[in-house]
Amino acid sequence: MPSSDPQPAFVLIRPQMGENIGAAARAMWNFGLDRMRIVDPRDGWPNQKAVVMASGAGRLLDEAQLFEDTPSAIGDCDFVYATTARPRDLTKPIFTPEAAMKDARARIAAGGKVAVLFGPERAGMENDDIARANAIISVPVNPEFASLNLAQCVLLTGYEWRREAVPTDDVTNSAVGEWAEQVEIEKLSEHYEQRLDDAGFFYPEHKAASMKVNLRNLWSRMPLTRADVQMLHGVMRQMVRWKERG
């Protein structure tokens, strides 16, 4: 059964290849979406090529709803977005994928039923289908090559839906060990300062103080873990041992 999470229905209009339907299902499930509706697939339904391509997302194909035309596929929805990269002569609100999924989440939270239309692979969505949508999702692609693969468009839209649900910082660190405490950074700084002083690094003498400040500033700018600190201690110890053996 479909998950209980409130979410939009993704409607594939007259998809041409089973492989693309399967890839779209996989892209949807990557981002926790499982409401797939299929309108008049060219090669019929069910489609074994779609199953193979869907990999671990085959459940979406088993539960996909099949419709003869677009009106019946969106009949129970109160707001519909049509995805297209091409400019159209239809006056409608135009959203980026990010803004559209933010808007969709707000509508669904208020009790609405939302659908997103995706056109066939070869020529994209026809104006007759777009005319039935309330708004357009326009992907800012290269105007000299505006065609998006069906699964790519589904993936992009699904990503923006998921991103609204799981906000993250623009930059994060991958899993690391514990961050080094200031006392550990201080001891590392002292270790390097002492050994570099022994090696005559702080020369000329009148610049030594500022050179030591710069070195301490370097350590403070570096996000070091305890493992990093231990390794850097080891690097210096090995260099000293190597020098003494020489």
Cα-Cα end-to-end distance for the chain: 72
Q: Please give the mean pLDDT across all residues of the chain.
A: 88
Q: For 114-129, write each residue's pLDDT tens digit.
A: 999 999 877 678 888 9
Q: For 76-126, write each residue's pLDDT tens digit.
A: 999 999 998 665 677 889 999 999 999 999 999 999 999 999 998 776 788
Give the pair of three-digit tokens for residue 72.
């019946």
Q: For 26-72, write each residue's pLDDT tens digit.
A: 999 999 999 999 999 999 998 899 999 998 888 999 999 999 999 99
Whether the CB-CB separation of 93 and 109 falls below 8 Å is answered with no
For tokens 């990269």, the residue is 85
Beta pairing, strands 65-67 & 135-138 = unpaired
Q: Could you give the CA distance from residue 55 to residue 233 in angstroms, rounded to a whole number? A: 48
Q: Could you give the CA distance from residue 88 to residue 119 in angstroms, rounded to a whole number? A: 14
What confidence score (pLDDT) does residue 244 get? 77
Side chain identity at residue 104, one-letter code: A
Closest-CA residue to 15 (of 149, 119, 152, 125):
119
User: What pTM does this model have?
Assistant: 0.71
Whether the CB-CB separation of 97 and 141 falls below 8 Å is answered with no
